[in-house]
Structures are given as C-alpha cells and as structure tokens.
Chains A and B, each alone.
Chain A
Amino acid sequence: DQQVKQNSPSLSVQEGRISILNCDYTNSMFDYFLWYKKYPAEGPTFLISISSIKDKNEDGRFTVFLNKSAKHLSLHIVPSQPGDSAVYFCAASVGGSNYKLTFGKGTLLTVNP
C-alpha cells in the first residue's frame, strides 16, 4: 500500500515555463515532506523540504506547497531549465525529521529547450 503517491510518471515542459510536480499522501501522521532530484546513474539529492506547520517553502526557483487538508503537496519550478530534467521523488516522514523516509515512485521531468 503506497502511502506516498506520485500519479504522473512523467511530465514534459518548455524551457522558461513553470513545472508543477504533484504528490499525494495517505498517512495523516506524516508531518515532514521532502523533494529529491535524481539524475541517471546518480543517487537522489535533496532539493527542498517543508514542515507541516507551514504551507509554503521557497528556495530560489523551487517552491513547495503543502495542502494538509487535501494531503497534497506540489513542487513548482520557475522558470524551468533543461538542467532540471531529472526524476523527482516526493518523500515524507513522521516526527518532523529526515528519519525513516517514505518515498513516492518518482516523476520524470523533461524540460525541452
């Protein structure tokens, strides 16, 4: 039973436009959420996180939004760049930390020049 779901296996956007990656979760105990980015033949790298006490966190071109009532979070990338092309994983944990992460299956983002 997948507790963290990324329903879109892939997403394609034009360079300069906004990329929106979505993630849904079912476990109401999750209180810390993260996004990781993964390039081929590399391990995932941490991108941005958000605590359940917030509904938005921003870091440069990357913004994560959290809607607790809908159990939904999204990652916005503005503007998208070809170097952003990668697999993006949503992850969640209980206890407000990076401990014992539950990952989604990932969304492949392709940014076309």
Chain B
Amino acid sequence: DAGVIQSPRHEVTEMGQEVTLRCKPISGHNSLFWYRQTMMRGLELLIYFNNNVPIDDSGMPEDRFSAKMPNASFSTLKIQPSEPRDSAVYFCASSWGIQETQYFGPGTRLLVL
C-alpha cells in the first residue's frame, strides 16, 4: 500500500511568493495532520483535520498560513506571502482516527530566499 504522499519534495521560492504544499493521506484514514520541523523549534503540529473538517489550527503561526482538505484524499497547506523564516521541512501525517498512530509522509523541504 502507498503511504502518505507529499508534493513537491523540495521547493525553492522567493520571499513574497505563494507556496502550496500538497498531501495525499493513506486511503481510509480519516485524520490528517500538518507539521513543521525547524532547527529552533523541532517538530510542531500546525493543524489537524478529522473527516475533512479542521478541528484545531492553534499551531498555525499566522494568517499567512492556511490549510484545506476538500476531500478525504487531498489536503493543501498554503503560505501567502512566504517569508525566509518559513523555511523548514513540512510533514503531513494521517491516521485511522484522531487517537490512532500517525503515519508520516516524507516531507517537503521548503527554502524561501
């Protein structure tokens, strides 16, 4: 079975540009999580969805960040406008339920110049 799929794997962009990260969860999973990993703060939960509905976005750093899950097989994390401090690895994870083991994708490495 395919695991969590993220695209792109690497993204280099210039400050001020819009960035869209994509995630396809494992089929049948109904919970989806977005994380950000930086050297300073480690791995942080940004937002999570249950049955395509955002449940908790308290980890989203600011209004420049937004996430959507239009259906059970696709989610996006958008940064607009992007800033150099957004440079990080962004992980998507999914699970059978909010309380079940999370399976992580390979991550998207974002560099904002």
Identify the A interface with B (CB < 8 A). Answer: 2, 36, 41-46, 89, 95, 97-106
Residues of B within 8 A of A36 (CB): 104
A99 engages B104 (CB within 8 Å): no
- Known contacts A43-B4, A44-B91, A100-B56; is A105 also within 8 Å of B42 by CB? yes
Residues of A within 8 A of B4 (CB): 43
B100 engages A89 (CB within 8 Å): no
A98 engages B43 (CB within 8 Å): no
B100 engages A98 (CB within 8 Å): yes
Closest A residue by C-beta to B105? A43
Identify the B interface with A (CB < 8 A). Answer: 4, 42-45, 48, 56, 91, 93, 95, 98-107
A41 engages B106 (CB within 8 Å): yes
A103 engages B42 (CB within 8 Å): yes
B99 engages A101 (CB within 8 Å): no
A99 engages B42 (CB within 8 Å): no
B106 engages A101 (CB within 8 Å): no
Q: What 4 A-B pairs come out closest when comparing CB atoms?
A: A43-B104, A97-B99, A105-B42, A103-B43
**B93: contacting residue among A43, A97, A99, A100, CB under 8 A:** A43
Residues of B within 8 A of A95 (CB): 99
In the complex, A100→B57 CA distance in Å?
11
19 further A-B pairs in the complex, CB-CB below 8 A; given A41-B107, A44-B43: A2-B42, A43-B91, A43-B103, A43-B104, A43-B105, A43-B107, A45-B104, A46-B102, A46-B103, A95-B99, A97-B98, A98-B95, A98-B102, A99-B98, A99-B99, A100-B56, A101-B102, A103-B44, A106-B43
In the complex, A100→B56 CA distance in Å?
9
Residues of B within 8 A of A101 (CB): 45, 102
Residues of A within 8 A of B45 (CB): 100-102
- Known contacts A43-B93, A89-B43, A106-B42; is A98 also within 8 Å of B99 by CB? yes
Residues of B within 8 A of A42 (CB): 106-107
